Structure 1
């Protein structure tokens, strides 16, 4: 979205999800270093939070992309931003391979953005609202109906029709996660929501709005900062 057309309330809402994500990852780090007992892979307390956090980020991304497109975002500007996301996805894969060599991230949230945003901008975003809602519903339920071993490799699991979840620290396949992105694009077509997002952010909310303008930077930096701080504290506490 062009800088002069930003919606502070949207940025503030995105910031809430960013801080929630950081708190979630901090708890994950505590479990990884065995400072707390928690199973982030099966315990509903944590798996439900992951679903909500990820759904929110994808929803805001779809909404933001729709608003940016309507505001006249040029193709070169879109592809510059896409290149940043794709490059960041490659860095995540590299960094996770160093820290988790047996469960590195080959298709996480940034990889999903790199795949789905062009698909939305240059194809699906032109569909009527009813069709997008129906497609979102189908995308959400289809992985529960259709699975095949051909989708179980690292080269094909990005589709999402896997017979079992791959061993990886983050997995955000096209299905079902296209659904909240599509719903965000649909939400941008609702005049009432758009008017509300255009309203002012009072008081301390302006700081949240400022933070929400930097989701990619925050995403890339928060875990290295959290892990480094936790390791430093552990070293000093010995």
Structure 2
């Protein structure tokens, strides 16, 4: 359900952005400073849920085949996004967006599934602090993904590994704490697939597909609407 809320937020954010980009509404809500902060918050929710999901999937024992299958899926779609945006938006192509960040964060987080939670918290604090302590000169596209460069090359999707990776670690700490207290068992009894909000659980199981397809669908529908109004 949490994933469902996050992907709905993505769709709504991009809808507002597209409406503003087409001149149908004031573009400030999505494209201004507030909109930028909202976008960071949405991306952060997905990165946080990576940590939660890793504990749920591999907390008792690591399942390499399951992990590698999911990682290959993320990397494959991330490469697809990079190639497509390079062809369509060569000056703003996605070299390291949210999908790439999810994949890298998933790999880096693996040791913290077994390490002490105190160490995970310490690593999270370091991830949050490093961008303010270390600065790499320039805005190289091949280094800006770290979150440590002075600037960032223009891109339509950019997710900074630091400080976002700190959220993945906090997700791991939270879920490990809940599991130790037995709260995960109580949460599992909550049937989120039923009731008026059951659809959120459904879309939450298909976030990757929705993420990949929603913008082409939105842009197609909105551009068709603009054309018909002429």
Q: What TM-score comes out, normalization by structure 2 length?
A: 0.89
Q: Distance in 2 between matches of 1:219 and 1:86?
A: 14
Structure 1 unaligned regions, length at least 5: 1-11
Q: Distance in 1 between matches of 2:36 and 2:187?
A: 29
User: Is 2:184 the counterpart of 1:197?
Assistant: no
1:90 to partner: Cα distance = 0.9
Q: Distance in 1 between matches of 2:29 and 2:62?
A: 39
1:234 pairs with one of 211, 226, 230:
226
User: Is 2:92 the counterpart of 1:103?
Assistant: yes
**Change in CA separation of 1:53 and 1:32 when aligned onto 2, cut-off 3 Å:** same
CA contact (8 A) 2:13 2:30 kept: no
The alignment's C-alpha RMSD in Å is: 2.0
Q: Distance in 2 between matches of 1:99 and 1:35?
A: 23
Q: Distance in 2 between matches of 1:142 and 1:163?
A: 13
1:32 to partner: Cα distance = 2.4
1:73 to partner: Cα distance = 5.5
Q: Distance in 2 between matches of 1:35 and 1:223?
A: 17
Local SS of the residue matching 1:190: helix
1:208 to partner: Cα distance = 1.4
Q: Distance in 1 between matches of 2:163 and 2:12?
A: 24
**Change in CA separation of 1:215 and 1:170 when aligned onto 2, cut-off 3 Å:** same
CA contact (8 A) 2:59 2:113 kept: no
Structure with more relative contact order (C-alpha pairs < 8 Å, separation 6 or more): 1
- Report the equivalent of 1:86: 75
1:166 to partner: Cα distance = 2.3
1:136 pairs with one of 117, 120, 124:
124
Q: Distance in 2 between matches of 1:44 and 1:226?
A: 23
1:217 pairs with one of 185, 192, 209:
209
Q: Distance in 2 between matches of 1:218 and 1:71?
A: 30
- Report the equivalent of 2:102: 113
1:39 to partner: Cα distance = 4.6
- Report the equivalent of 2:18: 29
- Report the equivalent of 1:172: 159
CA contact (8 A) 1:40 1:47 kept: no
**Change in CA separation of 1:233 and 1:98 when aligned onto 2, cut-off 3 Å:** farther
Q: How many residues align?
A: 225
User: Is 2:137 the counterpart of 1:149?
Assistant: yes
CA contact (8 A) 2:55 2:175 kept: yes
Q: Distance in 1 between matches of 2:83 and 2:206?
A: 22
Structure 2 unaligned regions, length at least 5: none
1:187 to partner: Cα distance = 1.1
User: Is 2:59 the counterpart of 1:70?
Assistant: yes
